[in-house]
Amino acid sequence: MDDIARLRDEYKDRKGRFAGSNLYSWFNQANLFALHQRQRSILAALKKNKFTALSSLSILEMGCGGGGVLTEYLGFGALPEKLHGVDLLFDRLLHAHHTLPSSGFANADGQSLPFPSQTFDLVLQSTAISSILDPDLRRNICADMLRVLRSPAPASGKPGGMILSYDFWLNPTNPQTRGVRPAEIKQLFPNCQYEFHRITLAPPIARKLAPISWGLCLFLESLKILNTHYLVAIRPKSED
């Protein structure tokens, strides 16, 4: 079975496994803690790289699923008509389309994103790369994410776009995924500058502690050693 067929099977199975679960609900304290911390890190990375006027940016998420992450970008100031998402799974995209009817969604493989080169200011991926096991598939997807990203234009002083990748580097309990470590990020997105932020308190710990002590979770996450994900801001180097 190729990796795309495996992914489709896995997500069909996952839909059944997680039916009725509140693991990814905003009402689940551990999930809320992780979402807030991720949003704080994303906003800090956007601010540091001067991407604060989100209404002027065209944004693509590769592997957007049901559109939850793109919806968060509305709160950061993005315009719905400038948001785009691509996913393999039609039923997830349908959900995204119902939530964001004026955004653009395409049922496609991230290896060949259906957009011209240099279309987007921001290209996102959130726990999509770790769900892909085949190294060639990972490489092709990341190459296409770079292709559709706006390049720096030194003559006009325009700095070029940015990729934001959020994914775990370690998840020993799920054989259907493989973590993405910093060394691999550098191979997948060559000739770029990278800012790595190690975030997200290990979910099994957050599930136990967040309902009891938000402050303790904040303290543990600040230590970094128990954090399972990297948020990475990736910017192509200027060619001049």
Ligand X SMILES: C[S@@+](CC[C@H](N)C(=O)[O-])C[C@H]1O[C@@H](n2cnc3c(N)ncnc32)[C@H](O)[C@@H]1O
Residues of this chain that interact with ligand X (CB under 6 A) are 7, 11, 63-65, 68-69, 86-89, 92, 109-110, 126-128, 131-132, 141
Nearer to ligand X, 159 or 199 (CB): 199
CB of 239 to ligand X, least distance (A): 28
**Where does residue 41 rank: exposed (0-12), middle (13-18), buried (19+ CB within 10 A)?**
buried
What 8-state DSSP symbol labels residue 194?
E
Starting at the earlier edge strand, list the strands of the sheet with 162-168. 104-107, 83-87, 59-62, 122-126, 162-168, 227-236, 192-201
| Cβ burial, residue 16 (10 Å; 0-12/13-18/19+) | exposed
Question: Please, which residue, 60 or 132, has the CB nearer to ligand X?
Answer: 132
Residue from 162, 134, 130 nearest 146 by CA: 162
CA torsion angle 13 135 34 69 (round to 10): -80
CB of 31 or CB of 159, closer to ligand X: 31
Q: How far is the CB of 104 from ligand X (least distance, A)?
A: 15
- Give the nearest distance from C-beta 216 to ligand X in angstroms: 26
C-beta of 89 vs 185, nearer to ligand X: 89
> Considering beta carbons, is residue 109 or 121 the nearer one to ligand X?
109
Residue 124 CB, shortest distance to ligand X, in Å, is: 8
Per-residue 3-state assignment (H helix, E strand, C coil) for 98-145:
HHCCCCEEEECCHHHCCCCCCCECEEEEECCHHHCCCHHHHHHHHHHH
Q: Looking at beta carbons only, is 133 or 226 nearer to ligand X?
A: 133
CA distance 98 to 142: 28
Could you tell me the smallest distance in angstroms from the CB atom of residue 214 to ligand X?
23
Q: How far is the CB of 70 from ligand X (least distance, A)?
A: 9
